[in-house]
Structure 1
Amino acid sequence: MSYEHIVHKGSKASLFTRMAQAVSTWTGKPVTFVAAVALILLWGVSGPIFAFNDTWQLVINTSTTIITFLMVFIIQNSQNRDTAAMQIKLDELITKVDGARQELLDLEELDESQLEKIREEFCARASKARGNPPECS
């Protein structure tokens, strides 16, 4: 099995993946949050200077809209990669644990109704293990 596509520092991942990882790491730091709060406070304090005019309001509205729009893609990319990595790790554990049901591999590919049936089965098993009647809904 080949693992060339796995992203590590210094890897040859796509430009978007490298950029998304860098932005997501940078924006997740407390200093970035503090900087954002400082910019908003600076904008608020500048209100009287600009007489709270429409342009003054438009600056913050446009800025936050653009940043939010772009961050949606960065967050989704990061979440997709994290979810895929977790699924691979869980699949690896399932394949290595004696007695684990191999049919549970790739559950994320099932539709909602199939997942619900399996969830109800596990809920019933958990209730039985606790000595309670199934309370699954």
Structure 2
Amino acid sequence: MKFDRFAQGLAKMTGRPLTFGVALVLILVWGISGPLFDFNDTWQLVINTSTTIITFLMVFLIQNTQNRDNDELHIKIDELLRTTKRAHKALLDLEDMDPAELHALRKHYQQMGEQDGQQAHTD
């Protein structure tokens, strides 16, 4: 998918210190140029519009990379569960459960953890 490759590349580029430095320099230039424009409305509009557009686009970029990272993590965890003999195979399909089922399963695992903790103290 072209967008996924584009988003990954752009996310890597925007996450670099150099990119942060460029953005910081642009903000400083804008701030220093204020007296040249008498801090007028157009001068303020430039930074407001620029940051709004960049923020709007970055939301979609971040969401795309988070979705990808989340999918990768799920695949890795699914593989670990699949290859672990004592793992509950039902855990492979958690994303298909409704919130009530997830809550019940979480409660079950909390109880198991408490029991394991109690057994560790008695050993």
Q: Could you state the TM-score of these two structures normalised by the residue count of structure 2?
A: 0.91
Which residue pairs with 2:57 in the alignment? 70
Matched residues, number: 119
Q: Hey, which bits of structure 1, 4+ residues long, moved more than 3 A?
A: none
Residue identity over aligned pairs, in percent, reads 52
The structure, 1 or 2, with the larger RCO (C-alpha pairs under 8 Å, 6+ apart) is: 2
2:17 equivalent to 1:17: no
| CA distance in 2 between partners of 1:105 and 1:65 (Å) | 40
Extract unaligned runs of 5+ from structure 2: none
**Match for residue 21 of structure 2 among 34, 51, 60:** 34
User: Which residue, out of 70, 80, 95, partners 1:83?
Assistant: 70
What one-letter code is carried by the residue in structure 2 that aligns with 1:90? I
**CA–CA separation in structure 2 for the residues paired with 1:64 and 1:81:** 25
More helix by share: 2
2:112 equivalent to 1:125: yes
Which whole-Å CA distance do the structure 1 matches of 2:108 and 2:17 have between them? Answer: 42
1:94 aligns with 2:86: no
CA distance in 2, matches of 1:97, 1:63: 51
Cα distance, 1:103 vs. partner? 0.5
Q: CA RMSD in A?
A: 1.3
Give the corresponding residue for 2:99.
Answer: 112
Unmatched runs of 5 consecutive residues or more in structure 1? 1-13, 133-137
Instruction: Tell me by how many angstroms 1:37 deviates.
Output: 1.3
